[in-house]
């Protein structure tokens, strides 16, 4: 089917072209990534390959001090939470953000993030949080803290266990090598034998830890990685950090030869299934 952008930079710059739709699922995305257009396109391309028509509306955090984006552009082509506060959406996605080294309360849009979760309780059917946003939402929902990792978790990691009873794992089998990009300096402190409330680990990795968690009572899905990433995103992050003279190891299980040029893009099928199953949950809730 089709994915359309209701607003944003990709549609404004005519990088993405909308198509006719019938009864689309309406998603709102808080885009916290510094690469705004790239992230818009990643989600548009992912959802464009799925079964339902989807319209994406992009938000920016009004309380954030931007270094890599023009505030004037965002104010013109994005919405903030206040501007959509009276609207209802089928789903909410909050992207990752490069703030894992900060305590939650040190993030300048922390209060706005909390207001977003409160607003979503009454205005969206399902919410999906990725990378830092997953850690932040787990803290808001269950008071689960995070800790800094000794080394950045960086690369493509394979699942070793899945919960076959979750609607998020329909059509998944471990034999299909469920994979996901990870790019983070912190992790939630989880005791999988004593998870709070109705929180469940849906997909787990021996190397990377939980990949997907779910709370049915909150209608929240927590994804610890970046299923939306393009084939070259980890490479771009690696080269960027090298240029900044940041100590960084090559992403694990990603470069497929010694020249550091060819990459493994085998997580695309996993990403499509994750987003498709999440849309199916939304569609079931609206039926």
184 and 153 Cβ atoms separated by less than 8 Å: yes
46 labelled catalytic: no
278 alpha-carbon distance from chain centroid: 12
Structure tokens at 156: 């493509």
Q: Which of 100, 126, 228, 237 is catalytic?
A: 228
If one counts every other C-beta atom within 10 angstroms of the C-beta of residue 70, the result is: 12
226 labelled catalytic: yes
Residue 224: enclosing H or E segment and its boundaries?
none
Calpha distance 168→215 (Å, rounded): 12
Name beta bridge partners: 255.
263
Taking the CA atoms of the chain, what radius of gyration do you get in angstroms?
18
130 labelled catalytic: no
Q: Which of 131, 218, 219, 237 is catalytic?
A: 131
21 and 9 Cβ atoms separated by less than 8 Å: no
Calpha distance 188→191 (Å, rounded): 10
Q: Which of 46, 100, 226, 237 is catalytic?
A: 226
Residues with catalytic roles = 131, 226, 228
């Amino acid at each position: 089917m089709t994915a359309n952008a209701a607003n944003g930079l990709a549609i404004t710059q005519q990088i993405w072209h909308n198509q006719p739709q019938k009864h689309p699922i309406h998603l709102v995305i808080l885009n916290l990534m510094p690469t705004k257009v790239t992230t818009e396109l990643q989600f548009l391309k992912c959802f464009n390959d799925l079964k339902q028509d989807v319209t994406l509306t992009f938000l920016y955090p009004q309380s954030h001090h931007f270094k890599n984006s023009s505030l004037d552009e965002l104010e013109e082509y994005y919405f903030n939470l206040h501007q959509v506060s009276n609207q209802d959406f089928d789903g909410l996605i909050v992207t990752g953000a490069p703030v894992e080294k900060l305590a939650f309360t040190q993030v300048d849009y922390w209060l706005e993030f909390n207001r977003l979760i409160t607003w979503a309780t009454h205005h969206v059917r399902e919410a999906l949080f990725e990378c830092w946003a997953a850690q932040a939402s787990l803290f808001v929902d269950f008071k689960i803290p995070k800790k800094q990792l000794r080394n950045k978790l960086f690369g493509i990691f394979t699942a070793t266990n899945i919960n076959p009873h979750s609607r998020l794992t329909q059509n998944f089998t471990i034999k299909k090598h469920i994979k996901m990009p990870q790019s983070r300096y912190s992790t939630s402190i989880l005791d999988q034998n004593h998870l709070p409330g109705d929180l469940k680990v849906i997909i787990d990795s021996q190397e990377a830890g939980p990949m997907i968690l779910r709370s049915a009572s909150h209608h929240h899905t927590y994804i610890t990685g970046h299923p939306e990433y393009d084939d070259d995103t980890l490479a771009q992050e690696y080269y960027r950090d090298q240029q900044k003279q940041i100590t960084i190891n090559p992403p694990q299980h990603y470069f497929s030869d010694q020249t550091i040029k060819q990459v493994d893009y085998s997580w695309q099928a996993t990403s499509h299934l994750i987003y498709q199953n999440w849309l199916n949950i939304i569609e079931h809730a609206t039926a």
